[in-house]
A and B are shown apart, each in its own frame.
Chain A
Amino acid sequence: MTISFRSPLGFVLLLLAVLAFGYLLLPILVVVAAPLGDTGYLAFPPRGLTFKWYAAALHDTRYLSALAVSLRIALTSALIACTIGVAAAYGLTRFSFPGRRLLEAIFLSPLILPTLVLAVGLTLFFTRTGLLVGSWKLVAAHVIVCTPYVLRVSLPVLRRFDRSLEEAARNLGASPVMAFFLVVLPVVRPGIVAGTVLAFITSFDEVVLALFLAEPGAPTLPVMIYSAVQLGFEPSVAAVSGLLVLATLGLMILYHLLGTFGGRRN
């Protein structure tokens, strides 16, 4: 360390960092812990200990079907975003042509667009044109917000890729398509997987577009939680949110472990 923790400056820095982590984790801890209380209303710290709210959440068909809707939409959006995003990223890094930077900027621009603005525009658009039905409206919207994440992760990976490997494959007689799938893709796969996971999470957590565009009878999980929280503080909503947090934590640890093992293998 440049700065010792024992010096006054180091101590202040450390104190602020500890505060920051406490601040980051506090509301998440609340959501996980509050439904453990058996007071019948949400309180933190919880009083008493019961698992009945968590058990009830696991059997609540409304939330389970919302979860199914969310998973389906997130999976569809992430796969579409991955396909069109990786194709575009490969084109952007492989070929040089006038307007390439502009095209890249346009493809990335939904990142800076407020999702609410996108939601208003798309709702009006779908109402007027009658294009797309059912959950496809939301999928289209999520593809727009997810594709930039795929691009942002896969562009640097593809730029770093050693082009001579691809040329070697071509010299040995591989077609451009074969060279891409047999040589380029295996090398850049971790980046593409990371981008797709990011796209999946973005779609799964997204609430604004879903509020505007989800089918009235089939809300996504964030919309269900949003509406339930607005109506009142049932412990069951907190239990659903808590389960979501725990599942996210579990998946993150799993992904990290897989990544670590993958890294060692290489």
Chain B
Amino acid sequence: MTKPETKGGGARWALFAPALLFAPCAFVYAVFFIWPQASLLAISATDAAGLTLAHYQRFAGDSYYWEILGRTLGLGAAVTAITLVLGVPTAYLLARVQSRWAGFLLLLTTFPLLVSAVVRSFGWMVLFFRDGLLSHGLMALGFADKPVQTMYTMAGVIIALAQVLLPLMILTLHGVFKSIDRDLEYAAMSLGARPIVALGLVTLRLASGGIVAGSLLVFSLAISAFATPSLVGGARANVMATAIYEQAIELLDWPFAAALATILLVTVLALSLAYGALLEGRGEREAAR
């Protein structure tokens, strides 16, 4: 960054311009972001008598909520695993394909992102019902001998949510693989490494920071997702997000909803800090080279 110019009327401009430029954004954020979130924290830790940890103790003392938290983290892990298995090969091929197809396939990856998660979850619901394609397909392939209900199960939520988040994994990894020089792969192979060894020792190792970053991104989005778990999972597959909604909208227990929201927020923040640290570390390593 160069210093702003100071000649002529520039000195006054340099002083007031930043303030004027930031003022609208800072005002909107202060009123509609920082203030509400701060009061959310305050509400989660107060009751009629003043400061209290009662709402958090209620969470800590009830195995039902621990189960929900565990289920939420399990959902995050399963969704991350699926998006990795499908996302790594797809992103790698997208980054290495040299033709007009590459652009088209990238568009095809982006397109689902533009369709609301509600609509995409709805598509899965049609497939998941006892009478749907999935059930018939499993029976035809001999995996099941009677109709299978995937609707209102965790398995259904995992399948649907992994589809919702897969484009983000592919797009993140695409950037990572693009930045890895393919000559390094050629070099490894010309030194005698078989393709699979070159891929594992060179490409995947260089991409590991990006892979972890993409996984953390998908994981934190999966544990905070609401629409898909609520539509596909319903009441029988309760996760943190649906539990917060239930407390707030159906039971009108706002302080407890605020406490649950804070617990979710802290989990996501911790993951994001790890994500930021990883990206930062990668940048420094690259700069050092």
Contacts and interface: CB of A to CB of B under 8 A. Distances in A.
Interface string A195-239: 000000100110110011000000000100110011001000110
A116 B226 contact: yes
Nearest to A41: B131
Contacts of A143: 28, 32
Interface in B89-147: 89-90, 92-94, 96-98, 105, 107-112, 114-127, 129, 131-133
A94 B4 contact: yes
Give the dominant DSSP class at B's interface: helix
Give the dominant DSSP class at A's interface: helix
A233 B32 contact: no
Interface in B1-58: 1-5, 13-14, 17-18, 21-22, 24-26, 28-29, 31-33, 35-37, 39-40, 43
Interface in A168-191: 170, 176
Nearest to A230: B231
The size class of the interface chain B forms with chain A is: 35 or more
B186 interface: yes
Contact of A121 (B40, B119, B127, B196): B40
A42 interface: yes
Contacts of B189: 2
Nearest to B123: A27
Nearest to B227: A207
Interface in B146-201: 160, 163, 166-167, 170, 182, 185-186, 189, 195-196, 198-199
- Which among B90, B264, B268 has the greatest number of chain A C-beta atoms within 10 A? B90
A97 B68 CA distance: 45
Contact of B86 (A9, A23, A84): A23
A201 B119 CA distance: 14
B123 A207 contact: no
A95 B4 contact: yes
Interface string B242-278: 0011001100001001100110110011001000000
A27 B261 contact: no
B21 A244 contact: no
Interface of A: 1-3, 7, 9-10, 12-14, 16-17, 19-21, 23-31, 34, 42-45, 80, 83-85, 87-88, 90-91, 94-97, 100, 103, 106-107, 110, 112-118, 120-125, 128, 131, 140-141, 143-144, 147, 163, 167, 170, 176, 201, 204-205, 207-208, 211-212, 222, 225-226, 229-230, 233, 237-238, 241, 244-245, 248-249, 252, 256
Given A95-B4, A107-B25, 18 more contacts: A20-B170, A25-B108, A27-B121, A28-B115, A31-B126, A34-B126, A45-B133, A83-B24, A85-B25, A96-B4, A117-B264, A121-B258, A121-B261, A143-B28, A144-B28, A204-B116, A222-B116, A226-B231
